[in-house]
Amino acid sequence: MKIVQDTIHGAIKLEDWMLKIIDTPQFQRLRRIKQLGFANLVYPGANHTRFEHSLGTVYLALRLKERIEIDDHVLAAALLHDIAHPPFSHSSEALLEKFSIRHEDVKFAIKGEIKDVLDELGLKTSRISEIVSGKERSIVNGDVDVDKMDYLVRDSYYTGVAYGIIDLERLVNKIKFEGEVLIEEGGLKAVEALLISRYMMYSTVYYHHVCRIAKKMYEKAMLRIIERGFDAKNLIEMDDCEAMMLMKREEREFYDMLVNRRLFKRAVYVGKSSLNFEEIKVKEEEAEKEIAEKAGVDEKYVLVDIPKEDVKEFKVKVEVDGKVFELEALSPLVKILKTAIAEDWKIGVYTKKEFLDRVSKAAIDYFGIKH
């Protein structure tokens, strides 16, 4: 055992075999990847990393192991669930998805020394990958899981917002696993608090418009670099600093804007009620091209941001008197949250300050935005 002092959980006891994984270069790379990408442009304290989050996640898995049966493959998956995160975390995710790679595909990052260590420990990469991706149900990737339980509290602490206050102790003591994660009746309010926290963190932190703009600027610059021949798969082996140095060499204008916080502005930022159609079916890149042509500006200065809607956590199961129910059937609060999430959803079009009027008019025309 080795004890690591964590900001959120206090003393974390790590087993010897975990230390062998943690000490590999592939895992150490996570020290150099910010958990929240460019969120520190809004919340200056948001400089925590995927490394500490990974330790926090396996800590919660170890806590659950005290109550329910969890094997070493699940613990390893909790530790390694973010091993394939590219630079700036989710800011690079869209780039990888264009090439059919997701950060849950940990097999792409498990090679070299870390692969040798896992082999030595008798841990199969294929099974770890299935657990992380959710193909095998577990406490690592599910409707309520140790990943969310850690990042909500951790992200709230480091951003300084008060929305990540959830009852971790209650959740740890009320989670069961019977082929899938179940919450005992006494944990219902703790799950509701987690969902409220997640909603508040998304609306105030994760989807803050400045975070979205910086993310899209980074994506645009990196995509242009990839189109000129850079292999996107290399991102899985890079850290934040290396990505920024690449951008400094290849896309200096966007690099300077990001490091000096001279970001694009909002030309359009509206919800579904302002649109003439219910679902956005267009591709962002196609929209950027057409809006740029209509506005008469270079395509690289037009960013279209159509965020995904994700409410899968509402499918969590609750056990009451030996019977299993969907959370939504027991909690009126869930229906309210669904409505709130839908109303908070916004489509954004961003550009440089000098192009705002032209791009705004072109985007309003392209999307049929109601005045």
pLDDT in tens, 175-222: 999 888 999 999 999 999 999 999 999 989 999 999 999 999 999 999
- Of the candidates 280, 227, 274, 281, the one whose C-alpha atom is nearest the C-alpha of residue 250 is 227
Instruction: Give the count of beta carbons closer than 10 Å to the beta carbon of residue 32.
Output: 15
d(Cα 191, Cα 203) in Å, to the nearest integer? 18
| Residue 121 is assigned to a structural domain of this protein | yes
Q: What is the pLDDT of residue 156?
A: 96
For residue 174, being part of any structural domain is answered with yes
Report which of 147, 161, 203 is spatially closest to residue 46, judged by C-alpha positions: 161
Q: What is the pLDDT of residues 259-279, one digit of tens each?
A: 999 999 999 999 888 876 555
Answer yes or no: is pLDDT of 334 > 70: yes
Q: 234 in a domain, yes or no?
A: no
Mean pLDDT rounded to a whole number for the chain: 92
- Residue 371 included in any domain: no
* Cα–Cα separations (whole angstroms), residue 254 to 74, 244, 361: 41, 10, 24
Which tens digits make up the pLDDT trace of 22-34?
999 999 999 999 9
Predicted pLDDT of residue 94: 80
pLDDT attached to residue 277: 55
What was the pLDDT predicted at 278? 53
318-327 per-position pLDDT tens digit = 999 889 998 8
Q: Which residue has the tokens 């396996």?
A: 58
| Cβ atoms of 149 and 59 closer than 8 Å | no
Higher pLDDT: 358 or 370? It is 358
User: What is the reported pLDDT for 287?
Assistant: 94
| pLDDT of 311 higher than 60 | no
What is the separation of C-alpha 69 from the centre of its chain, rounded to a whole number of angstroms?
28
> Is residue 7 a part of any domain in this protein?
yes
Q: Look at residue 93 and tell me if it is in a domain.
A: yes
Full domain range(s) for residue 114: 2-208
* Percentage, residues of the chain above pLDDT 70: 96
Q: So what's the pLDDT on residue 370?
A: 77
- DSSP-based three-state secondary structure for 101: coil
Can you tell me the distance from the alpha carbon of 125 to that of 18, in angstroms, rounded to the nearest whole number?
15
pLDDT at 128 over 80: yes
pLDDT band at 11 (very low <50, low <70, confident <90, very high): very high
The rounded percent of the chain whose pLDDT value lies above 90 is 74
| Domains: count for the chain | 1
**CATH of residue 176:** 1.10.3210.10
